[in-house]
Chain A
Amino acid sequence: MSAPLGSGLSLAYVARNLIARKLTTLLTAAGMALVVFVFATVLMMAEGLRQTLGGTGSYNNLVIIRQGSQTEVQSTITREQANMVESLPGLASGAGGQARITREVLVLVNMPRKDGKGLANVVVRGTTPVGIEMRPQVKITAGSLFRPGSSEVVVGSAMARGKVGLKIGDRLSFGLREWTVVGVFDAGGSGFDSEIWGDSEQMMQAFRRQAYSSLVVGLRDAGSYALFDEALQRQPQLKLDTKREVQFYADQSENLANFISILGQTITIIFSLGAIIGAMITMYASVANRTREIGTLRALGFRRGNIVMAFLQEAMLLGLVAGVFGLIAAAFMQRVEISTTNVQTFSEVVFRLILTPGIVVEVLLFSVLMGVLGGVLPAVRASRLEIVDALRSV
């Protein structure tokens, strides 16, 4: 015999069951929503870090560092090496006809954190007018740019906002010199925002360095990478590593982003066990309270499959509601800015939590899955009830 209603029980019936027991639904959803919130926050943190460092630099710029040195701070490049690189083919030319290349110095300088908790290792980058031109996303938002050949510096917007909190007019002392902050720049939320920029040659003098840290060169066009790289490889005495600027900074956030993801996912999985148990308790109670109702439905001709589906849908709906509330709470976390040390480069990095559509989908699927896992056993129990017993129960 076929069921009178081929499509099973309506969604309205399912939804009303949740509304009928408001307190229970609310408490279970609250527990699940908290798990969802933690999960979403962790994903947003890893994503924020990836976007901050991954969005640093331009695709057509190449970062050149000493072979095997991995970070700019550990790298050294001599003037001779820099001159040789400048003469390689495939580079874009600037206004004066010479190659677009900037010789940069990178040092880490300790600066006190405003909350009094220790020191931050801030990246101080010595750059050149060409270097600033090569990063078009960098805009001065307050004050002015440092004058070449002076002890002036500009600070990234995250350094001005965050725990380090530098202001225009502040005097910084490092390398046996006083440096004056004359401006604040914004680099569109990228990793440059966590840096302090000054004149490259002045930094070399202050730190008594003979060598640069890195070279950044502009490619003539997207296809020149192979040409340039091949020419570089033909000079084995140069011993340099090249990477596209975007890739270079993205790779530097890899470890920290992975650490946050793994830690967060482990925590979330353990926490979700608690929430699944909560959902299970609720769904079992929902089945127990409606034993007679289930018997009636079965007597009316609904199949076991319909009953299972109805309870699973109820559990999924519970999960979905929790997911939506958890996400709404997590969306507020986008205002939070995190300032911590990137273990890979040993330097302070400031990033914002970012909610992407991908995370929204992932989190909602996760919360529905929690509901399903909590609901599947109770749903099966409901479908196993014998019609006669169920109708007789009190």
Chain B
Amino acid sequence: MLYGYVLKLARKNMLRHRLRTGLTLAGIAIAIVSFGLLRTVVDSWYAGAELGSSGRLITRSEASLSFPLPATYSERIRKVPGVRSVTFANWFGGIYIDEKNFFAQFAVDAQSYFDLYPEFRVAPAELADFKRDRRGAIVGRKLAKKYGWKVGDQVPLRGTIYPGNWSFTIRGIYQGADDKTDENQFLMHWHYVNETIKALLPSLADKVGVFIVDIRDPAQAAAVSAAIDSSFKNSLAETRTETQKAFQLGFIAMVDTILLAIQTVAYVVVLIIMAVMANTMAMAARERMREYATLKALGFSDGFVSLLIFGESLALSLAGGLLGILLTFPAAASFFRATRDLFVVFEVRPETVLLQLGSAVLIGLCAALAPALNSRRIRIVDGLRAVT
């Protein structure tokens, strides 16, 4: 009963200064949307690492990824107990026309690579074509769409690691098994690249960037990793084996300072809007000091007056917050469209929505704090005398 009455009064009060209320609502909505978007950016960055089969291990050089491993390791890894199959890939790092056109290019073992990546779906005929054509390539659906490539097109790449001008014929386009699969990769034959480079730069030949290892039992990942690494201990090229997830998290850890900055900034926007909202409430309360004094003179308690202020503040911040949450979804969708190449998935998580809601409540509570305390402190006589 009492709360219904307070709510009714809060609504009436909000409508007294429509312009101010509208502006405050807009401000809160913008803040809640940006808070949600920034959090989703950080989440999506990590989400990329969550993907991928847990049954796959990545073996690379102990020193760092910039050191390749001998291609002959493939057979030795295959013999480690628990290993089902092995394939390998090399970062190609070519430039397509201009440096701005960046996409991942891997020289892979054409015979085995797609067996280990069942989530890359290629039509059997296209895969067979690719295996036959040593200068062929298979590209992801999104990448093909971006540059308008079709099967049969020639793609020129300027080598940075492997010098020279290269040309590949697209033999197939792969589709992700679900929308969480990266469809932006360009895959070519490792054997072709290797033989071409052998004549040019023998020091780069017969080398592999990473081995991808499929294991029988994902629960044995740690044991198999250790077994692989120990078999190359004290050799010229020691290895570091970890699950695909750990490997990808390693990449993310490199830019975690930037992610931390984005996360911090997400909370700053809440502070900014808290100041704006507090200002609105302070103004409203100052204008109504006489009314509050009147209410108190009529016998309403201090608590009731505080309740009025908190009610109005919370109603306003929650309305803005809900508007912001609703707008977050279309905003996230268009943000994803604009930055398609950066993220594999871009989903607003339920925790984000909860945090948005929590922020809205916090904004409302903090904004009402000062005016509510003030209304308690002021004496009826002074309140009635107050001028605005």
Contacts and interface: CB of A to CB of B under 8 A. Distances in A.
Interface in A62-114: 66-71, 73-74, 76, 107-110, 113
Q: What's the dominant secondary structure at chain B's contact region?
A: helix
A277 B24 contact: yes
B86 to A, nearest CB: 23
A31 B273 contact: yes
Given A274-B269, A277-B24, A289-B388, A73 B279 contact: no
B225 to A, nearest CB: 16
Contacts of B262: 263
A107 B163 CA distance: 19
Given A119-B250, A121-B254, A107 B63 contact: yes
A108 B64 contact: yes
A24 B203 CA distance: 70
A175 interface: yes
A239 interface: yes
B257 A118 contact: no
Interface string B245-281: 0000110011111100010010011011101101110
Interface stretch (B30-38, B115-123, B147-155, B353-361): B30-38
A208 B67 CA distance: 11
Most chain-A Cβ atoms within 10 A of its Cβ — which of B19, B63, B159, B238?
A: B63
B273 A274 contact: yes
B30 A270 contact: yes
A285 B65 CA distance: 61
Interface stretch (A4-12, A129-137, A294-302, A335-343): A335-343
A19 interface: no
Interface residues of A, number: 61
Contact of B24 (A34, A113, A271, A281): A281
Contacts of A210: 203
B180 to A, nearest CB: 23
Contact of B276 (A31, A38, A70, A176): A31
Contacts of A348: 254
A267 interface: yes
A277 B27 contact: yes
B209 to A, nearest CB: 12
A141 to B, nearest CB: 25
B160 interface: yes
Nearest to B61: A110
B187 interface: no
B276 A281 contact: yes
Contact of A281 (B63, B250, B268, B279): B279
B163 A239 contact: yes
The 7 closest A-B pairs by CB, nearest first: A118-B253, A341-B254, A31-B275, A278-B276, A27-B279, A277-B27, A108-B66
27 contacts: A24-B279, A28-B279, A35-B272, A38-B265, A68-B163, A69-B160, A74-B93, A76-B204, A107-B63, A107-B67, A108-B64, A108-B66, A109-B64, A117-B253, A118-B254, A119-B64, A121-B66, A207-B67, A208-B236, A211-B203, A267-B34, A271-B34, A275-B276, A278-B27, A280-B23, A281-B276, A281-B280
Interface of A: 23-24, 27-28, 30-31, 34-35, 37-38, 66-71, 73-74, 76, 107-110, 113, 117-121, 174-176, 207-211, 239, 260, 263, 267, 270-271, 273-275, 277-278, 280-282, 284-285, 289, 338-341, 343, 346, 348
Interface of B: 19-20, 23-24, 26-27, 30-31, 34, 38, 62-67, 93, 158-161, 163, 201, 203-204, 234, 236, 238, 240, 249-250, 253-258, 262, 265, 268-269, 271-273, 275-276, 278-280, 282-283, 370, 388
